[in-house]
Chains A and B, each alone.
Chain A
């Protein structure tokens, strides 16, 4: 596996805070769970209506999704397993190299 299968079970989720309460809850989540923000490029840019794409690791996803339920933050899973997409993105490449 590429990257030693580091991203197996990691997810990309999308949120868009609708009010100040959700903005605060989302910023708190980003800091508490040390998530990898794909967009925007910094927590400081998160405001009402911002599209926020968050890469969450397999280990933290259970606690993080529980936090989202607890705070009623709506979210959508964009990519359910990052490792699979990485393998698809350049897996062919490494196959080619091996050939």
Chain B
């Protein structure tokens, strides 16, 4: 049982999976749980489907956390998001409207093998744990392995590099599983949100080139309103804009792939902080980080429900 689960603490993979089972069992009116495949080391890739089953067809939002193993605040936010959704469904008209009108597919830990490794062996591990037989190095960067300008600028062909793009596009089972899931639901899914750390940024396509996306005005205004909402909580400032110019050019990213696959609103959050603690953001900052990010995510979601 996961009664009294502490959302202001970091949890191991086993604890997060137990939590998912518990939420699935205790909130069956709002949550269903399924696996979209297996990781390289054979672990299930669990997704929680969140939303009121009111009508057969509803638009959806995809949220993933933990693509990079050492960025622990990501999975902490995904858990916080699910908790807030079920806790406030009856008390918050905004959340109720969102959950009645949309589904959320939430993947709390994308890179399950890497996350487990960062808890047990190397706290600062980033990549997956796949093994390229010809090299002694492990893992590929799960955010350079998507089939969009794969292994072009901003990714490395060398298996020992942190931005190694993998043997081929979607070579990483975790990426393949998520891409297959998203491909099958491209008409239903209207937003893709991916949570990373650290830098305090809200990024949108493109990562792989300096160019404006066709629906720039809608995506940019949603991003601006989201960081204003975020800042209203504790005054924390996020920068926002196209990833290629705000951060750096990188190819094969999940956000670019989601956008090119037809999802009109694709964002990547780089959560707190800007480097004082980095990946070691203390547990005392989980709550404020998640509270402010909730405001941004709800803002983006409301934007999607309206016509832009």
User: Quick one: CB contact mask for A67-99 with B, threshold 8 Å, 1 for yes?
Assistant: 000000000001100100110111011001000
> Does B152 touch A at the CB level, under 8 Å?
no
The 23 listed contacts between A and B (C-beta, < 8 Å) are: A3-B121, A12-B278, A14-B275, A37-B162, A39-B199, A39-B278, A41-B126, A41-B141, A44-B156, A44-B163, A45-B248, A53-B278, A78-B276, A79-B278, A82-B280, A86-B123, A89-B10, A89-B280, A89-B283, A90-B9, A92-B9, A93-B11, A93-B283
Chain A residues within 8 Å of chain B by Cβ, number: 27
Name the residue of chain B whose CB is nearest to the CB of A45: B248
With A and B bound together, what is the CA distance between A39 and B122 in angstroms? Answer: 17
- Judged by a CB distance under 8 angstroms, whether B282 is at the interface is yes
Minimum CB–CB distance from B177 to chain A (whole Å) comes to 23
| Complex contact B277–A85 (CB within 8 A) | yes
Is the CB of B154 closer than 8 A to any CB of chain A?
yes
Interface residues of B in 246-265 (CB under 8 A from A): 247-248, 250
Q: State the CA gap A7–B122 with chains docked (Å).
A: 10
Binary per-residue interface labels of chain A (25-40) against chain B in the complex, 1 for a CB within 8 Å, 0 otherwise? 0000000000011111
Count class of interface residues, chain B: 20 to 34
- Kindly state whether residue A62 has any CB partner on chain B within 8 Å: no
Q: Name the A residues within 8 Å of B162 (CB-CB).
A: 37, 41-42
Sample of 16 more A-B contacts, CB < 8 Å, known A45-B248, A55-B124: A36-B124, A37-B162, A40-B248, A41-B141, A41-B163, A45-B154, A79-B280, A85-B280, A88-B282, A89-B280, A89-B281, A89-B283, A92-B9, A93-B283, A96-B6, A96-B9
Complex partner residue of A44 from B122, B126, B154, B276, CB under 8 angstroms: B154
Query: Contact at B283–A92, with CB atoms within 8 Å?
Result: yes
Chain B residues near A (Cβ < 8 Å)? 6, 9-11, 121-124, 126, 141, 154, 156, 161-163, 198-199, 247-248, 250, 275-283
Residue among B6, B126, B248, B250 with max Cβ neighbours from chain A (10 Å): B248
Q: Is A66 an interface residue (CB 8 A)?
A: no
Q: Within the assembled complex, what's the spacing in Å between the Cα atoms of A53 and B277?
A: 11
Contacts of B280 in A (CB 8 A): 79, 82, 85-86, 89
* Interface contact A78-B126, CB-CB below 8 Å: no
In this assembly, does A51 line the interface, its C-beta being within 8 Å of a C-beta of chain B?
A: yes
Q: Is the interface of A mostly helix, strand, loop or mixed?
A: mixed
The 8 closest A-B pairs by CB, nearest first: A42-B163, A45-B248, A85-B280, A89-B280, A38-B278, A93-B9, A90-B10, A53-B275
The residues of B that contact A40 with a CB separation of less than 8 Å are 247-248
| Chain B interface main SS type | loop
A42-B283 contact given A51-B275, A53-B275, A53-B278, CB 8 Å threshold:
no
Q: Which residue of B lies closest to A89 (CB)?
A: B280
Most buried by B among A12, A42, A82: A42
A residues near B (Cβ < 8 Å) are 3, 7, 12, 14, 36-42, 44-45, 51, 53, 55, 78-79, 82, 85-86, 88-90, 92-93, 96
Determine the chain A residues whose CB is within 8 A of the CB of B281 once the complex forms: 89
A88 and B161 CA atoms in complex are apart in Å by 29
Do A78 and B282 touch across chains, with their CB atoms under 8 A apart? Answer: no
Q: Give every chain B residue within 8 A of A41 (Cβ-Cβ).
A: 126, 141, 162-163, 250
List of A residues within 8 angstroms of B123 by Cβ: 3, 7, 86
Query: What is the CB-to-nearest-CB distance from A33 to chain B, in angstroms, rounded to a whole number?
Result: 15
Please indicate the chain A residues that have their CB under 8 angstroms from the CB of B126 in the complex: 41
Contact partners of B277 in chain A: CB under 8 A: 79, 85
Alpha-carbon distance between A92 and B8 when the two chains are bound, in angstroms: 11
Residue of B nearest to A85 (CB): B280
Q: A37-B162, A42-B156, A42-B162 are in contact. Are A89 and B278 (CB under 8 A)?
A: no
